[in-house]
Amino acid sequence: MSIKKTLCVLALSLPVIVPAAQAYDFVKDGVYYNLSNDRKKAIVTYSSLDANAYEGDVVIPSTVKYGMTELQVREIGDLAFFNCQNMTSVKMPDNIILIGQQAFSHCYSLTEIQLPASLYSIGDYAFEYCDRLTSVSIPKYAEMVGYAAFQMCSGLERIDVAEGNMSYCSEEGVLYSASRKKLVCFPASCEIKELSLPDGLTEIEDAAFTPAYFLERICIGQALADVPPSTLSSCLALTEITVDPANESLSSADGVLFDKKMQKLIQYPTARVAESYAIPEGVSALEDMSMAGTVITELTLPSTLTNIGMYAFYGCCNFNTIKTNAKTPPTVQDKDNELFISAIYENCVLHVPDSSKQAYSSAKGWRNFKNISSEGTHGIESIGTDSADSDSSVNLFDTNGRKLYSGPLSGINVSEHGIYVIQKGNSTFKIRL
């Protein structure tokens, strides 16, 4: 979710679901099975979640003998090959109809898998973290591809769909519903750089881009009414998001995605190169992950901002100046009540409205800033515990946070009169020169 040329943000992943180990009913030729409820079919399972018994090339038979009974092998059960890191391929028989949840999750060495023509259902997270898979073909009768089935498959270049499938289709290796109204999965290593969403597309699965390494530009059409928070935050090369002006729910300004009324900032393109950004006045909310991983150094928050979503500034490492025009500190939704990493709290100057310094100094998510400057203050204002004398080594900034000088206090010389910020150690002084 790399972003910068020295990217600090980490690609996010959903939590691994690991239930308590279940016992298998029997083992045959190195493959573990459970009996179906009617005891007429066999379901491939694991020996234990700690054993990871499968490795190399695994072949699943179409039938297996249990006692005196010949059973059809019809399903790959939940977590059947979970974390089998040394398994390189799996050959499944044509009578497999279902692949369970996380069945091949974390199979890092899996390079090849041919889904059988009989398959109709793929479970949630079924192939997550299968890093070496480069392509997958959804068979003709598949009716269900589960949630985030291919998330974090970093090598996946394309997903194809067999001709005649009534539920899914593929365009340039991107997986859509058959009606092209829903984007299901954009493969992580798909080399498409500009994606124009189909005109009738109305939905993007929130795990569709998890992640996308090469996608630089997304063009949203008229019909899409909603982009769930954080959906685009893992598009690690994204520089621009555009929206058809006829779209009644979404809008774009300077390549940044907003709702139509420009009250919610939904997504700032992760790899957009800009030194500074001022969020437009009128915006009242930043959605979850909306500015995660951005490379800007100077950020201005509008007076109308009241709410900041979960991990809105996750991985933002470069801020040296944040100016907020909101007199009341915006509410922070993060559970740990921290907006920024510790380095930002230590080194970035937070400029707040005159008379709002005390409110920000005590507010969750804001009070950790070591350098808080109150706009509109005249003379010298000390923030911190140290004092500066004429021989002190200081940094001089203008009110936009640009560094103008570094050296002894006595050596400061400015070309224009005005208000400046002096930083010494953990203290910040505002001075009129």
- pLDDT of residue 37 exceeding 90, the answer is yes
Tell me: the pLDDT tens digits for 294-307?
Answer: 999 999 999 999 99
Tell me what pLDDT residue 335 has. 74
Tell me what pLDDT residue 338 has. 82
Written as one letter, the residue type at 315 is G
- pLDDT of residue 4 exceeding 70, the answer is no
Q: What are the residue ranges spanned by the domains of the chain? A: 274-376, 377-433
Tell me what pLDDT residue 336 has. 73
Tell me: the pLDDT tens digits for 411-428?
Answer: 777 766 667 777 776 666
Q: Quick one: residue 11, left, alpha or beta (phi over 0 = left, psi -120 to 50 = alpha)?
A: beta
Cα 82 versus chain centre, distance: 23
274-376: what CATH class?
A: alpha beta
pLDDT more than 70, % of the chain: 86
How far is it, in rounded angstroms, from Cα 367 to Cα 386?
A: 18
pTM > 0.75: yes or no: yes
DSSP symbol at 362: H
Number of residues assigned to the chain: 433
Angle, CA of 380, 385 and 388, to the nearest 5°: 50
Cα 130 versus chain centre, distance: 18
Tell me: the pLDDT tens digits for 70-118?
Answer: 999 999 999 999 999 999 999 999 999 999 999 999 999 999 899 999 9
Cα 231 versus chain centre, distance: 7
**Could you give the 3-state DSSP secondary structure of residue 211?**
coil
Tell me what pLDDT residue 427 has. 64
CA-based max dimension of the chain: 96
Written as one letter, the residue type at 253 is A
Tell me what pLDDT residue 375 has. 60
Task: Report the run of H or E that residue 346 belongs to, with start and end.
Answer: helix 342-347
Rounded mean pLDDT, 311-328: 94
How far is it, in rounded angstroms, from Cα 105 to Cα 128?
A: 5
Residue 14: pLDDT band with limits 50, 70, 90: very low
